[in-house]
Chain A
C-alpha cells in the first residue's frame, strides 16, 4: 500500500517569491509520482509527473519537482509565483502496475500581493 504526506496544509507566499510545497510518500514497490492543481470549484489538472529517468521533472506553469528516492520525497517548486497560482495542490502516488492514485491531503497556496 502507498501513502502520501503533505505536511503543510497552507502556505502563504508573497508574489514573485519562490515557493516549495513538500510531499513525502511511502511505498513498498516502485512508484510513480504526480502533482495536481485544483482551482476553486474545478477538477484536478496535472502539473507534472515522474515515471522514470531524470529525477528533476518540469511541468506546466513554470513548476518543477525533484524525485528523491532516499528521502522518499517529491517536493514541488516554483522560482517566482504569481497571483494566478493561488490554488490547492495535491501530491499523488501510484504503483504496483495499477492506476489507482493515492492523494495527500493537499496544500493550499495563497499568494500575497
Chain B
C-alpha cells in the first residue's frame, strides 16, 4: 500500500509569494496533520483536519491556512512568505481524529524562501 505522499518534494519561492503544499493520506485514513520542521529543530504542529473539519491549530500566524477535501487529501497554504518560513513541511495521516492513533508521516516538502 502507498504511504503518505506529498508534493512537491522541493520548491523555492521568493519573499512575499504564496505557496500551496499538497498531501495525500494513506488509503482509509481520515485525519491529516501538518507540521513545520525548521532545520535543527523538532517538528512543530500547524494544523489537524479530520473529516474535512479543522480539529486543531498550532501557534502559527493567519498567513498559514489549510483545508481537507472529500477524498481526505489536504492542502497547506502559506501567504506572504517570509525567510523564516523556510523549512521541511511534513504531513501525517491517521485512521481517526481525537485519539492517539499512530500517525504516519510523509517524506515532506522542503520549502526554501529567498
Contact = CB atoms under 8 A, between A and B. Distances in A.
Interface residues of A, number: 24
Given A90-B42, A106-B42, A98 B48 contact: yes
Interface stretch (A41-49, A66-74, A76-84): A41-49
Contacts of A100: 33, 45, 48, 56, 58
B107 A98 contact: no
SS class, residues of chain A in contact with chain B: strand
A85 B41 CA distance: 19
Contacts of B94: 99
B98 interface: yes
Given A99-B33, A99-B48, A46 B102 contact: yes
Interface string B82-114: 000000001010100111111111111000000
